[in-house]
Structure 1
C-alpha cells in the first residue's frame, strides 16, 4: 500500500486531488528533543469549509485518485485528501462506524498491515477532544521521525498514558491489551451509538516497537489546537506568531494540558 500511496500522492498533488496542510519541517531543539513544527497552509480553510467537512469522504464511491486498495472485507485504504505528510494513508471502515466507539479486532488486523518500517507511525484519534475531524471510523498512517520516542519508551511522559513495548506486531495481542487499558482507564461510557459502545476521548499511537494509549482531556490550549501526532513531538501551527507562543509556552506543557495528570 505504501508504494501505491507514494505514486498516487505525487499524482494527486499535481492534479489538485490532494491538498497538503503542511509546509517544510522546522526542527526546534529543546532539552535534547528535536521537536518538529509545520506551518499550516491555506488548505486548512478548505478542509473546514462546511461543504467539505460535513461530507463523509470514506464512503463509496471513492475518488479513484485517492483509492489505494481494499484491506479485507471490512476496510479500505485511502489517501488523506488533506495530508500532514505525503503519503498519508487512511485505513477506513467500509461501512459507517462512529469514530468514538470502541475498536474491534478487525480494525487492528487491517491497521497493522500498513505498519512496516521503523519510521512508520500509526495513530488513531477517538473524538474531537482527541483531534478527530471525521466521525467515520479511520486509523491513520504516516512516515515520520519520532522526536519523543526515547521519552516514550523510557516511560517518562508526564501525563496519564499506557505504554506497551512490542517484540513484534500481533493484532490479537494489541487488541487484548487495548481492551484491558480501556477498562483500566475507565474509557467506556454508558451510552451506545448505532449499537456500538461509545468511549471517552483518547489517542492511540502505534509503531513496530510500541503502542501508546493516551486519555484526552481537551484538544485546544488557548488558541492552538492539538492532534494525536503531537504526542510523538510533531506539531502544526497556524502562524509564526503561534509558533513563537508554542516555543515559549512549552511543547511538553502543551501536551500535559491536553491530557490528564499522572
Structure 2
C-alpha cells in the first residue's frame, strides 16, 4: 500500500536534497552459476549516523521529508534516507523498542502492509552482530530480484537456517513460523531478547539465519547479503570477496551446519 506514495516522496526528497543514495551501479559477481550483485558505497555513506544509544536516534523524531504513511497504530513507514535500493522503506515503531528484542505480531501486521507485489523483499537485522546500525525497531522493505532465491528454495544453503514456505502471507501464520524459527535455532533467551539473526521475507517464503560475526576482513554483512547483494567501501573489497568465496563468506558470518 506504500509504493505509490513512496515513489512520490522519493522524487521530492531527491529534488530537495534530503535523500542521499549510498551506492554505485551494481557489479555482477558469478560463483557456482549464481550471479551475485556487488555495490560500492558513495561519499554519502560517511554522513549516515550510527546510533550508539537510543538517545541518538534518527527515527525519534523522524524527518518529515522521509514520511511515507502510517503503518497501523504502532508503526510508521519512512523512506530510508541512505538507500541501497530506491525506494527503500523502513517500517518503524512509533515509540522506542529494542531492535534485538523478540518481534511481536503487530510488527508483522505493519511489515506486511508493504507486501502488495510479488517482487517485494523484506529484511530485518536483529542486533549489531546481524548488521543493525540503529537500536530502534525497524523492518525494511525494497523491491528487488533475489539472486540467491533458487539456492534458498533448493535447501542447499550450507549454514544453519530456518526456511518457511507460504502460498499466502498471513500475519498470524507468519508470526507463528517466526516463533518456531526462534525456537528451532535457539535464538530466544527466554526474557524477550534474542541472539543475533537476520530475516529475509518474500510473498513466498521467510528465511531466518543466525549470525555470529558482522564482518570478515572489514566486509560487513546484514540481511540483504543473504539475498545475494553486497555493499562494500572499496572496489578491492569486491575482488577480495570473489577470491575468498562468496558462499564461504556468508557461511562464516553465520553458523555452519
TM > 0.5 fold call? yes
Tell me the secondary structure at the aligned position of residue 150 of structure 2. Answer: helix
| Aligned counterpart, 1:115 | 115
Aligned length: 256
Report deviation, 1:50: 7.1
- TM-superposed CA distance for 1:48, in Å, is 4.1
Structure 1 partner of 2:250: 255
Q: Distance between the aligned counterparts of 1:73 and 1:157, measured in 2?
A: 37
User: Are residues 1:186 and 2:181 paired?
Assistant: no
The correspondence of residues 1-262 of structure 1 with structure 2, limited to 5 A, is 1-48=2-49, 55-60=56-61, 62-189=62-189, 197-262=192-257
Gaps of 5+ in 2: none
Residue 49 of structure 1 and its aligned partner are, at CA, apart by 6.6
Q: Determine the C-alpha separation between the residues in 1 that align with 2:51 and 2:206.
A: 34
For residues 24 and 203 of structure 1, what CA distance do their matches in structure 2 show? 25
Give the CA deviation at 1:54.
Answer: 6.5
TM-score (norm 1): 0.93
Deviating more after overlay: 16-25 vs 121-130: 16-25
Equivalent-residue separation in structure 2 for 1:241 and 1:151 (angstroms): 26
Unaligned runs of 5+ in 1: none
SS of the residue aligned with 2:70?
strand
Cα RMSD (Å) of the superposition? Answer: 1.7
